[in-house]
Every structure is written in structure tokens, then in C-alpha cells.
Structure 1
């Protein structure tokens, strides 16, 4: 009888252990730490570390919530992709951001442009995706015929594509990307093909080997894009397009963004600051262009919607070659409004950043986190913006988990940062 009891206890323990092992790997998980491959959902709890050993998928109808301080450690050998068919909420804080990264041994200058994992790929069945106080770095792997994304028909669904940090593709979905840092990616940071969207208070740098945008929006997008800093994107800070012919027509309202040194590393002269094409409807206000290649530029063969507007934008060039690039009448530069500040001589309209060497080489992708792009108290860009326009999501985007995100109010200074408090 005693042996029978011992055997029963051992069998029960084995079942429990097997259940724990499964929970630690895939569905409805709440482990402090774990490893993952295959299907995942549930909650990854505050401060935990999750080693991603292979491609992971949030199944349709399921949700993965990632709490503050979680580290999602991508295996640089298997180079996993993260596929979201359900919903994803990555909810970090300023003090404890969520981080999608690789181990310290791979965080080297040789891997400056990542390629060590794929990206976050949200299928058309993903209805809600939030990245808040989240860091994405060292990804952008190139797809092959064996890639899960290619087999599932996701993103561009062919081998040889460099994956973005984030792809979203549901025109009826809701996408929030705010307070994030996206860095060290091979090509595009984001590639967005639809949805009600807020991109706010993000920083993009050290991305794009030979091409790639910081924020790339296509048809189906209704987006408010505000208070973002883009440093030395290989091509454009903002590529705004209605390509794809999805409904609704792409309508992007971009305001109070700061763009520094963008576009100079692209081998051809397609763009470098804001690129407009294919009947996109784009309204652009209070944006600061410093040492960027071009200003707001159009595709002359496929121009923007004629209802588009831009005014109250600020242009600065340290040298004459840069100033010449953004003059209206050349390079397919889009004419702005009467309140634009656009000088004709090198050094005109210094925005007076708190700490940034305006002579910094425009071809360098290296970012110094000690730089401070706030405006000094005597900056001429203070008080030169406008709040007299309506943004898409002033009333907010309400999500099924009870959270509501509101696009930020515009400021009357130019750029992403006013004076330091």
C-alpha cells in the first residue's frame, strides 16, 4: 500500500512538472523567468527575463502582455522572429523599460546594424498592439525561404527581405508606439500598412546600412506622429505613401518632430527628411530639420494628395551644401507655408540645442546619448509653432484591455523638445 501511495505521488509530480515545463515555454505563461519557442500568450511578469530560442507566435484570439522591466533576450544564433496573430501589449515605464535585445557578447560595433533577430511582425489578424517605453535593438535579419514570416505570407513574404523592427498590417487595428527607442537595425525601423495609429515621443538612431526609413507609413493608416527624434536615418525620417490602395487613404498628421542628419548615408538621392508619394494625405507642422538631406520632398511622378498642408517648419544647415538641398524650386522640394523658417545661407536659423555639435559629420550613424536636443531659453524656435490644427486621435484610441491612448497636444515651439523644465 505504501508503495502504491509513493507511485501515485510520483506520477502526480510528473504531471505537475510537465505542466510547468509547458507553461514555461508557451501558452498562458506567468513565469518570473523562462525560455520560449512556439506559441506564447498570457503575462510575462515585471522584471523577468525570457530567452527566445526560436520563432514565437502569439496565436489569433490570444494576448501577450509584457510588464515593466522585462528583458526579451533573442538568440543571436537562431535569429528568431516574433509573429503577432493575436494582441501584444509591451508596457514598460521610464524607469523600467521593456527591452528586446541580444546578449552582451553580441552588442558590439561589428553588429552595429543588428541582423541578429527578425522583428515584431503583426499579421492582419492582430487587432491591437502597444509598444510603450520599449527598446527594440540589434534586429532586422534577412529572410530566407525557411523563415516563418515567408512561409506564413507575412511582411513582403519573400526571401531576401530585411525585416523591420515593427510591421503592422491591419487597417482596422489599433497601434500605439510611444516612449520607445528603436536602434541598431539593418533597414526600416517601422513599416506600417494600416490602422488607427499614434507614434509619439520615440527616438530612432543607428539604423539602415544602405537604405531604410525610421517611420514608413502606407495606405490604410490614420496616424498622428509627434515628438519623435530621428537621428541619421539612412534615408527618410518619414516616408509617407498611399501605396497599396487600402482603405482608408493614408492620412498622416506629423507635428513637433526633430530630424537630425537624416538621408545623407543613402547612396541615391531619393529622400532624406520627409518623402511624400502616391496620393498620401499629409499635414506637417512644427517640424525641425537640422542638417538633413532635403526637407519635405515629393515623388514628382506620383505626388501627394493636393489637400496636404505644411507650414511652421524650421530648416537649418551648418554648411552651404546642406542649405542648398532644401531650397524650394530644386530637388522636388515641396513648398511650405508663409510661417516656415528657411534661410539661404549656411548657419541661418541656428535652433540652439542645449547640447549637440552642429558640425557633427552628417554621414556618421553613431549616436551620443549625452546629446540634448532641448532648446535653450534663447532659441529662436520657441514660440514659432502652431496649435491651430486638428489631429486624428484627440479623443483617444480605446483598447480592449481598458487602456486609452491620446495623441499629444501640439506645442507652439518647433521640434520635439522645448526648453528643459
Structure 2
């Protein structure tokens, strides 16, 4: 009896296998496992992100409150255009960790159709951005390229809701930021915001706006950010942290700006800017008095040293008037300035010749430091490995003071190398005996700790290639 049952069972299994085989022939297994996966949207905790895969984003993505999501190395998210022209966002109410690696970067970008289409005007707006809300935990982004972001916010997005402060950081229809993070007054103040070894390029306004939080940004590239306004990194109240060894190229306004304003807690806007390279920036800002390479205002303060400022509309600006920074707590000097033409060298320290009057050299509390490098046009060439700053023009205007607006949105030239040559005079002369704002940046779960890099005696972000 057992033998008969066994034979019947084997027969049934054989029939089932034969049926499966026929189904396979009708619906064969995907022979291209590396092709782009089906569209994703919604709750990111329900998406199993796999290393090296590409995903089409067909709706807003959300990290729920108190949840944690990790995007592994090599992942690409391609944001598609919505059926009614929507730009899709990543709204972060929990913690988001984007863990690209040096040889396997993560990419957040628009679809190829959008990049090649008529909506691409050179300054992004093709998808939304990554938005850390006032209940978010950590936002950690490593070895990631964030391209063509800054699309219009919608009423249902966090950017237009109280989750980003007040009634919303933006109104529906406003161009957004590539990255946003907030620590609103009288709400949670823990968690960290870290951006390391990443690139942000092509966005219409601020690339990053930070309304509070413990922040570390190092070894990043910012390229063509802002249309007729917008800073690469716009830092607001209660933000404290270290910003170092970053490259900024062709920005609308400032590379780094600190101001103790916005929805964060007052009195704690302490930011160090050191060993950054900022080139060809400030000329797309519509207002004639704005566009410094580095900017402190409205009771912000920190150490600002060893920066390489090349052909910018203005140099380091400590804002005068009612919006002054905390002058007694700012340590500046040991910065290198280069200008290809007289109208640039005239404004290494914004003067009374423009509406951008700064404190340096114009107030007895803030003299021009003898430790800075600043000279006549084309003096003090930092000697880049492969880039000639003497050829720079800012759009054919006669004066950066009277007619600064430029429509130039050219990216970094192919082959450009902003390391310093072995015989560069900018390899020495910096200062190294100042402390970071924070000695460590540790995630909420304690699994990752980031240490700010020590300052280097060379000027700028790179030193020599070898």
C-alpha cells in the first residue's frame, strides 16, 4: 500500500514539474538581471534595496518616523517625471543612511529622458530632493552623487508642511533644495547630518539648507548650484559643525554661509570653514551686493582659515550693519585670494564701493589680516595642476559692482585638476592650531562615528596629487 502511495506521489510531482516547465516556456525567467527594476514609491522600509541595482522612482519616497533605512553602495535611483509633471521627493521622518563607497557610489538623479528633454535648463529642477524633517533622526550620505534636484514642492510634500518649520519651509510651487535638514526650536535636537565624499550639481537654489543640527561636511564637490540666487550651503540657527576640504565651482552666490536666523534655536550657530576651494562664484546672484565666497552674518561665528578663494565676486564677507555676525567669536585670516582682474581684487574684502560692504577693513574690530594672501590682478597664482585661473571672465560685464549678473552655468571643464603643483606657493602658510567644533559625530544607534579632518597647512581642499 505504501509502495502504491509512493508511486502516485511521484507521478503527481512529475506532472507538477512538467507544468512548471511549460509555464517557464510561456513566461521565461528574466535573462537580464541587471536591467532597471520596476518603479518604486512610498514607504522605503518596504523596499529591499540591493547593492548595485538601479531603481526607477515613480512617486514620493518616505522614511517613516522612528524607522531606519539604508541605501547600499552602487545603488542608482532614477527619478521619473510624474504624470502631471510632478517632481518626486524623499521625505525623511526617521533616519536615512546612504552608504556609497569609493568604488561603488550611490547616484540620485533624474531619468535620462528628463536630462535630455526640454525641462533641463542646466540648473536641475528635474526631481525634488532629500528632505530631513523636524522629527527625523540621522541623515548620513557617503560617496553619493546628487544631480539635477530642486524640483517644485507640492502641498503634500514635507517642504510645504509644518514638518519643515512653521507652515513649511517652502510654498507649493517653489523650487526646492537638493538636501534639507532641520532641528526646530523646542523639538528634538539629537541626530547628525553628515555629507562626505559626495557631489551635488545642477540645482536652482540652495544646494543645501540646514536649519539646525550637528553637521559635518567634508571632501565634497558642489558644481553649478543656484540660478539667480542660492548658496551651495545655507546654514541657519542652531547649526554647529565643521565644513572642510570641499570644492565649490560656479555657484550663484556663496559657497558657505552662516546666519543665526530661521526656525532653529538661537545662539548656537557655530561653524568652522577651513581648507575649502571656491572658484568662479557669486556672479549669478541678482542683487548687486551679494555673492561672497564665504559669509558670516546674524550672530553666527567660527574659525575660517586656509581657504583658497579664486575669482569670486567677493571674498570673505563679515556682514556689516544690523545683521553682523558675532565678531568677538570669529577667528579669520590665513586665507588665499586670487583675482584675474582688478574688479575682483578690489573686492577681496567687500568695500564701500559696493552695496556689499563688509566689516573686514572697514571696522576697527576687524582689520585686514596680515596672514592673508591678497595681491594685484593675476598675482599669487595658486598653480593648479590643470586649470588656469587667469583666463576667467564673469560674463563680459565691466564691473562686478555694477552689473554682476552672469548667465554662465558651465560645469567644471573636462580634465580640470585643482590639486596644487609641487612648486605651488599655496602649499605652505596655513594655520593648523585650532580645534574642530565637535571632536566626533556619532549616529543615534552608535554604529558610526565620524571624526572631522585636521586642518592642513596648505590652502584649499587638495594639496598635491601625490
Normalised TM-score (structure 2): 0.80
Report if the CA contact (8 A) 1:53-1:80 is conserved.
yes
Structure 2 residue aligned with 1:377: 422
Cα-Cα RMSD: 2.4
Question: Map of 1:28-107 to 2, 5 A cutoff?
Answer: 33-41=37-45, 43-77=48-82, 78-107=86-115
Report if the CA contact (8 A) 1:43-1:65 is conserved.
no
Residue 173 of structure 1 deviates from its aligned partner by 2.4
Structure 2 residue aligned with 1:303: 324
Which blocks of at least 5 consecutive residues in structure 1 are unaligned?
Answer: 10-31
Structure 2 residue aligned with 1:162: 175
Give the whole-Å Cα distance in 2 for the aligned partners of 1:411 and 1:108: 41
Question: Map of 1:277-296 to 2, 5 A cutoff?
Answer: 277-296=297-316
CA 1:90–1:248 in 2, change beyond 3 Å: closer, same or farther? Answer: farther
Report if the CA contact (8 A) 1:295-1:333 is conserved.
no
Report if the CA contact (8 A) 2:317-2:350 is conserved.
no
Residue 399 of structure 1 deviates from its aligned partner by 4.4
1:273 aligns with 2:288: no
Which blocks of at least 5 consecutive residues in structure 2 are unaligned?
Answer: 1-7, 17-35, 184-188, 361-367, 395-405
1:354 aligns with 2:385: yes
CA 1:374–1:219 in 2, change beyond 3 Å: closer, same or farther? Answer: same
Question: Map of 1:128-143 to 2, 5 A cutoff?
Answer: 128-143=138-153
Report if the CA contact (8 A) 2:333-2:372 is conserved.
yes
- Residue 136 of structure 2 aligns to a residue in which SS? coil
CA 1:396–1:149 in 2, change beyond 3 Å: closer, same or farther? Answer: closer
Report if the CA contact (8 A) 1:205-1:365 is conserved.
no
Structure 2 residue aligned with 1:22: none
Structure 2 residue aligned with 1:342: 374
- Residue 342 of structure 1 aligns to a residue in which SS? coil
What CA deviation, in whole Å up to 9, does each residue of 1:337-379 have, x standing for no partner?
Answer: 3211111x11111111111131133343212242100001111
Give the whole-Å Cα distance in 2 for the aligned partners of 1:34 and 1:61: 27
Give the whole-Å Cα distance in 2 for the aligned partners of 1:357 and 1:383: 20
Report if the CA contact (8 A) 2:260-2:266 is conserved.
no
Report if the CA contact (8 A) 1:43-1:67 is conserved.
no
CA 1:68–1:248 in 2, change beyond 3 Å: closer, same or farther? Answer: farther
Give the whole-Å Cα distance in 2 for the aligned partners of 1:328 and 1:162: 30
Residue 420 of structure 1 deviates from its aligned partner by 0.6
Residue 221 of structure 1 deviates from its aligned partner by 0.8
Give the whole-Å Cα distance in 1 for the aligned partners of 2:315 and 2:170: 32
Report if the CA contact (8 A) 2:152-2:172 is conserved.
yes
Report if the CA contact (8 A) 2:319-2:358 is conserved.
no
Give the whole-Å Cα distance in 2 for the aligned partners of 1:120 and 1:248: 27
What CA deviation, in whole Å up to 9, does each residue of 1:171-210 have, x standing for no partner?
Answer: 4320100100000111110000111110000000122111
Structure 2 residue aligned with 1:264: 283
CA 1:152–1:303 in 2, change beyond 3 Å: closer, same or farther? Answer: closer
Structure 2 residue aligned with 1:122: 132
- Residue 325 of structure 1 aligns to a residue in which SS? coil
- Residue 373 of structure 1 aligns to a residue in which SS? strand
CA 1:396–1:38 in 2, change beyond 3 Å: closer, same or farther? Answer: closer
CA 1:148–1:173 in 2, change beyond 3 Å: closer, same or farther? Answer: closer
Report if the CA contact (8 A) 1:168-1:192 is conserved.
yes
Residue 36 of structure 1 deviates from its aligned partner by 1.8
Give the whole-Å Cα distance in 2 for the aligned partners of 1:39 and 1:51: 15
Matched residue count: 395
Report if the CA contact (8 A) 2:161-2:169 is conserved.
no
CA 1:70–1:36 in 2, change beyond 3 Å: closer, same or farther? Answer: same
Structure 2 residue aligned with 1:314: 336
1:201 aligns with 2:219: yes
Residue 401 of structure 1 deviates from its aligned partner by 5.5
